[in-house]
Amino acid sequence: MTDENVSRSPRTVAVTAGRPQNENDPLNASIVLASNFQSTGDYARTHGTSTWAALETAVGELEGGQCLSFATGMAAASAILFALNPSVVVVPSVSYLGVRALLGDMQDHGHVRVVSVDIVDTDAVTKAMNEASAQVGAERVVLWIETPTNPTLDEAELEKLCIAANAINVRTVVDSTFASPIGQQPLTLGASVVMHSGTKFIGGHSDLMIGLTLTNQQDIFEKLSRARVVQGATPGALESFLALRGLRTLPLRYEAASKNADEICRRLKAHTAIEWAKNVGPMLSYIVKGGAQAADKVCASTLMIITATSLGGVETTMERRQKYAGDAHVNPGLIRMSVGIEDVEDIWSDLEKALAS
């Protein structure tokens, strides 16, 4: 049972939150396979289901806000932009290509103007927010912060940016996918909305797609709920169940993978084939000397580490990012690695042999 008077650690919240509460209930939330509910007139897309609610309660408790689940991370991003209805979005120039593609299309359709910024340059971001606010009014401006960024792992000064935005009533959205609810809790720093691709660390097993939004502002929560109803990008029942099951071990997985990534990064920095390496938690990016060809060779030469595009699973995956049109501006030799929870010596042995190739 959740005792709201006790402040518990994230490990405990991850295990206990969102469980059924009544006597003789099953221990875990059930997979509710229903679109329609008897007598009440409830309909899943409009009213939600108890499977979604269990996941939303648990993620909400970890982040300190009210949570809604969506079909994918991109569905969550779309719902946020629909709900906040900005006319200008200030966005990191190097960040997840999917969100930048969505914003690019919205701009092409005349719905928004996109202002790209270097998200680590707090003064430049503040200036861009101020200029946009002076032009269209602060209530029509959204600052979209992704931190750490995909794929270069840039880290924004999150608290400073939230303070600067709140001072002029600009709403902030934080894509916290790479940090997960364990690495940072942006709502506690003043963010208006947080989003996660739950497909990544929250699910944690590369077997589902789901998205999550969080806010502690009631008016924004209502707008996000409305966006889910009218856009219809609801999560699947099995996906919600699996995401909650994944969440139960998120703190342990995130800690173990971060420890592995710290060690792999330390060794990469000392390796003669490596130009640059950085990790934030389990996410690690490194640049191989010799550009695209050398980096492709490394990816093709591992035996255990999987070349794959997604991230945040128990297994170590990696890929060269500049091959995608949306990441064309990234260093050609940059490999983004999502470090898993295998034995660190096995990860290193595989990578070291691939680097020697």
Ligand X SMILES: Cc1ncc(COP(=O)(O)O)c(C=O)c1O
- Kindly list the residues in this chain that would bind ligand X in the complex (CB under 6 A): 72-74, 96, 98, 146, 150, 175, 177-178, 197, 199, 209, 211
The minimum distance between CB 74 and ligand X, in angstroms, equals 4
CB of 184 to ligand X, least distance (A): 13
Q: Which is nearer to ligand X, 186 or 211 (CB)?
A: 211
Q: What is the nearest approach in angstroms of ligand X to the Cβ of residue 150?
A: 4
CB-count exposure of residue 4 (10 Å: 0-12, 13-18, 19+): exposed
- Residue closer to ligand X, measured from CB, 74 or 115: 74
Using CB atoms, what's the residue nearest to ligand X?
Answer: 73
**DSSP 8-state symbol, 320:** E
Write down the least CB distance from residue 344 to ligand X, Å.
24
The DSSP 8-state label assigned to residue 56 in this structure reads H
Collapsed DSSP state (helix, strand, coil) of residue 43: strand
User: How many angstroms separate the CA atoms of 57 and 67, rounded?
Assistant: 7
Smallest distance from the beta carbon of 176 to ligand X, in angstroms? 9
Do 37 and 47 contact (CB within 8 A), yes or no?
A: yes
* Tokens representing residue 214 in the block: 């969080």
Q: For residues 150 and 317, which CB has a smaller minimum distance to ligand X in the complex?
A: 150
Q: How far apart are CA 191 and CA 184, in angstroms?
A: 11
> Pick from 175, 172, 173: which is nearest to 97 by CA?
175
**CB of 97 vs ligand X, minimal distance in Å:** 8
Nearer to ligand X, 144 or 221 (CB): 144
CB of 209 to ligand X, least distance (A): 5
**Closest CB to ligand X among residues 140, 336:** 336
305: left (phi over 0), alpha (psi -120 to 50) or beta: beta
Closer residue to ligand X in complex, CB, 177/317? 177
With respect to ligand X, which residue has the nearer C-beta, 98 or 104? Answer: 98
- Please, what is the minimum distance in Å from the beta carbon of residue 272 to ligand X? 31
CA-CA distance, 338 to 37, in Å (whole number)? Answer: 41
Work out the number of other CB atoms within 10 angstroms of the CB of residue 26: 8
Residues 223 and 84 sit within 8 Å (Cβ to Cβ): yes
Q: Between 96 and 254, name the residue whose CB sits nearer to ligand X.
A: 96
What would the two tokens of residue 131 be?
Answer: 């200029």
If the CB atoms of residues 100 and 171 are measured against ligand X, the closer one turns out to be 100
Which is nearer to ligand X, 146 or 154 (by Cβ)? 146
Token output for 266? 């330390």
The Cα–Cα gap between 234 and 45 comes to: 6
Strand partners, 187: none
Closest to 74 in 3D by CA, of 56, 100, 53, 52: 100
d(CA 337, CA 354): 14
Closest distance between ligand X and the C-beta of residue 149, in Å?
8
Please tell me the distance from the alpha carbon of residue 214 to that of residue 120, in angstroms, as a whole number. Answer: 23
- In angstroms, what CA-CA distances link 297 with 124, 160, 228, 355? 38, 41, 43, 8
Nearest distance from C-beta of residue 287 to ligand X, angstroms: 19
